[in-house]
A and B are shown apart, each in its own frame.
Chain A
Amino acid sequence: MPAADSRATRVYRALLRLLPFDFRSDFGPEMEIVFQEQHKEAGRRNGTTGVLRLWWETVVGIFRTAPAEHLAMFRQDAGFALRMMRKSPGFTIAAILTLGLGIGANSAIFSVVNAVLLKPLPYEHGERLVVLRQRLGMMDQRFSAADTNDYRGQTRSLDGLVEYHNMNFILLGRSEPERVETGVVSWNYFDVFGVKPLFGRTFRPEDEQPGAPAVLMLSYEYWIKSFGGDPTVVNKTFSMNDRVHTVIGVLPPVPQYPDENDVYMPTTACPFRSRPSTVANRQARMVQVFGRMKPGMSVSQAQADLSGVATNLQRAYPKDYPEGNDYSVKPSLLEEELTQNARPTMLVLLAAAGFVLLIACGNVANLNLSRMVRRERELAVRAALGAGRVRMFRQLLTESFLLAVIGGGLGLLFSWGALSLLISFAARFTPRAREIQMDAWVLGFTFLVAVLTSLLSGTAPALAARETVVGALKEGGAQSTIGRGKHRMRSLLIVAQVAVSFLLLIGAGLMLRSFMKLQHVDPGFQPENVLTMDIALDFVKYNTDDKQRAFFETLLEKVQTQSGVKSAAASMMIPFTPGMTMTSDFQIEGQAPAPGQALPKADFRIVSPSYFEALHIPILTGRGFVQTDRPGNPVVAIVNRSAAKHLWGEHDPVGTRFTGDEGKTWTQIVGVVGDIKQYGLDKDVADEIYVPMAQFPMMQASLVIKTTVEPMSIARGVIELLHAVDPNQPAARVQSLEQVRAESVAAPRLTTNLLGLFALLALAIAATGIGGVMALAVGQRRHEIGVRMAIGARPGEILRMILRQGMVLALVGVALGLFGALWLTRLLQQLLFEVTPTDPLTYLGVAVVLGLAALVACYVPARRASRVDPIIALRIE
């Protein structure tokens, strides 16, 4: 054959690879010579043009034939596979359920990971949005209006810089006054975020002018919740505090950060922010700042630019910004801010779901292998009839593909059913939870997983089928035989399943141990029978210290007399909530710091006198607050044990004084109280200083009411007392302290539950896997067992033999899992509380649980083996 022809033949042969293997093996060689003849003739008759035309026709022909042939073959295989599936419904249901659970777990977790971690933020140019933070000394601080203006004026890396803070308004004119969480923002806030209103418009520059008519925008959630999604709400007016506000627009459903607000208003709506004295005061730092980087700008470039502005500010206003490194500003991507809390948990769960699927694949592969034993005859006959190896491989893969696709469909149903649960779960980690949905990505992912699953669960049996064919023919097909290789493969799959289950159980076990430790943390107070509610006073009406003090004192007096109330107190914040922190430094009398040494620092809390009594916080030395700790009398404070130990050391703080204003006023310490877990059970105790509400009146407080009855049962009565004091004053977040506590550990609890669910699923699948394989082995060895018993083996010995064989597999799996766990659980570190990833107790416990499960799974077939009647077993042979 000439060289040119052979090159054409090679290309043609390559083209033929597009056709199904069977087709190619049937007709390939013949097609090749036909093509060679065509090629020769085309060249002879029409030269290059003829050859080119032939190529064109040939390529088109192959491209037309190949898909049709593949499809025809798939149809044939699928039809056959469906018949086989109907023939063994037990296997089919078990496989579909197992794969459905495995794939469902993955679809569900992927829908979360996709929405929260993979998709870009649902803001236009979300990837360019940054959060700015400034650090003064050791503390992150918000920005003042002057800071914001300077950064906006001087930055070269940002093309938008907007401010945000949160406050409460009171919506009047409804059946009850309602507290409305309000985001107070720059007029172009939504433009910088690239959010277009669903209805109406966003803010304009004139809305932010002093004296402009009061306007507001509704968040999507509040619009749905309070207005039933009524689009005519735009241009309606509402009385809020002392003014009439007009609704100008409704926001689309976008993640709200840093707070979930009901409404948004321009900065002029906030009387504190717009007060000329606040605007002029560089140290009135009350707002958060977001920026949008110019296109093509990186975070490090923005960082360099903003640091330059910071240096300018240090130079221009040395009184307001500390020197050198004590002042800095840092931009971080909003995308990361929104998702950083969710990332570790979601990735751990995704890995866990992946492991569950691996186990499910292993199990279905094993089921397939077991079934293969029963199908040896069929496969051998088909091989004898000329079904090639590849053909049979394809047939078996089609079967597992169908199983996986049906399982995948079931899995999608599972995850669709769990969607709302998943959203509320993810909402504890990120404001992006609302974006979770079953979209094309999730469908595509599920399909991909199903295909991978079919490859994983189908390849082993398909490979084994080859051996089966050879074996079955050799034996004449009278008695099915398990090839040694196939048995080894099944054992390997079992070992792998046990190992992965062990890994998952360790993960779940560690989370459980961690959660139990968290539950047993002593919070330092008694959360039982405590009712709490937040009250934010109308800032227009309660605009003086006296009015604020009088309101809370009157209210507490009334509540105290309510039946079922043991003691009523008010506090700036309730335990277990982040709330606001008021950290300040101060100087202790007689302890002037050395030059360059930092002043002592603590978190200040304002509480009413009964606070310690209501929460059963012990007074260790000195006294609690009393009614006489009022203006006009000496200013007093109480420190917690931590502050006493860290800041006063050996000395008793009671009787000593400190100053926060360089000695102009002094505060006397009158007592030391026990530590409490203010910020959460897993957080460290802070150094705290309590001051009395009468001397430091506040606009916003939480009621803390110790009750003698179920706390929620008196909530209504307390709200009525509140309305008796001021009918226009709402209460918010009415809940028992135990609810608050449960809420504070909900995230780890749910993570533990989910991981536990995955681990139990894995355990169940793996245990049934071991049981199934041992049962099959016993079935195969009936004859051998019969012989053993005929020559004197006792049932007990047979039982032990089978148990031993099963348990060896389980133990090898546990040993392998142990290594995997030691290596992989480091990734859990971040999620664990006071438990190391190598916690011996967890490892031991899980090994015992898994061992017992394996023992039970092996016991059933082992007992059956021990009851084999030797006469019957031998007669069968």
Chain B
Amino acid sequence: MEKSLSAVQGNAESFGPLTPAMFHVLLALAGDDLHGYAILKEVELRTGGKVRLSTGTLYGIIKRLLSDGLIVELRSRPAETDDERRRYYRLTPQGRHVATAEAERMDEILSIARSRNLLKKTRTA
């Protein structure tokens, strides 16, 4: 189903801190275009099973990211044989920008934590 989108323009900063779950979804999509179930699996895999999103939470996030223009739904699907109810999502440049900004923000925080000896300097994120 095609959906008209009103892309929200603006600086990445205007989105403010993302919730951890939202950030995870953006991270998952930073690698590849994925459908919903794949996003869940990716998040679960990357966090070693620590973050498990339910369908309700995931689609609440997807709706928000779509309306904020951080992700878009793909018009074409990779595999023609796929269940047509399945939809694929892609990070927009705006979304990438926001995810990067969030990662940098976290990085700054981590630096501070390291400078206060709360984290070992050798440890990588």
Contacts and interface: CB of A to CB of B under 8 A. Distances in A.
A64 B87 CA distance: 23
Contacts of A90: none
Contact of A38 (B35, B40, B60): B40
Interface in A543-589: none
B57 A34 contact: no
B86 interface: yes
A57 interface: yes
A20 to B, nearest CB: 10
A64 B54 CA distance: 10
Interface string B84-101: 011100000000000000
A60 B59 CA distance: 14
A30 B57 contact: no
Contact of B83 (A31, A33, A65, A69): A33
A32 to B, nearest CB: 7
Interface in A65-110: 65-66, 68-69
A30 B59 contact: yes
B56 A62 contact: yes
A35 B55 contact: yes
A68 B60 contact: yes
B60 A69 contact: yes
B77 interface: no
Given A58-B54, A386-B4, 16 more contacts: A23-B59, A23-B63, A29-B85, A30-B35, A30-B36, A31-B36, A31-B56, A31-B59, A35-B55, A57-B52, A58-B56, A61-B54, A62-B54, A64-B57, A65-B59, A69-B60
Given A35-B55, A61-B54, A65-B56, A27 B83 contact: no
A33 B86 CA distance: 8
A65 B86 contact: no
Contacts of B58: 34, 61
A9 to B, nearest CB: 12
Is the contact region of chain A dominated by helix, strand, or loop, or is it mixed?
helix
17 contacts: A26-B3, A27-B59, A27-B62, A30-B35, A30-B86, A31-B56, A33-B86, A34-B36, A34-B37, A38-B55, A60-B54, A61-B55, A61-B58, A62-B55, A63-B56, A64-B56, A64-B60
A61 to B, nearest CB: 3
A65 B87 contact: no
Interface residues of B, number: 21
Interface in B20-69: 35-37, 40, 52-60, 62-63
Which 10 A-B residue pairs are closest in the complex by CB-CB distance?
A: A61-B54, A61-B56, A65-B56, A62-B56, A29-B85, A65-B60, A27-B59, A34-B37, A61-B57, A34-B36
A385 B3 CA distance: 9
B3 A58 contact: no
A388 to B, nearest CB: 12
Nearest to B1: A26
A52 to B, nearest CB: 14
Contacts of A5: none
A768 to B, nearest CB: 40
Contacts of B87: 30
A64 B19 CA distance: 15
A158 to B, nearest CB: 61
Contacts of B63: 23, 26-27, 69
A37 interface: yes
Nearest to B6: A385
Nearest to B59: A27
A24 B96 CA distance: 27
Interface string A517-549: 000000000000000000000000000000000
A27 B86 CA distance: 10
A380 to B, nearest CB: 15
Contacts of B62: 27
Q: Which of A30, A69, A385 has most B Cβ within 10 Å?
A: A30
A30 B85 contact: yes
B55 to A, nearest CB: 5
B85 A33 contact: yes
Contacts of B57: 61, 64-65
Contacts of A61: 53-58
Contacts of A64: 56-57, 60
Nearest to A22: B63
A386 to B, nearest CB: 5
B89 to A, nearest CB: 10
Contacts of A385: 4
Contacts of A62: 54-56
Contacts of A33: 37, 83, 85-86
A874 to B, nearest CB: 40
A349 B54 CA distance: 54
Nearest to A32: B85
Contacts of B85: 29-30, 32-33
A69 B59 CA distance: 11
Contacts of A35: 55
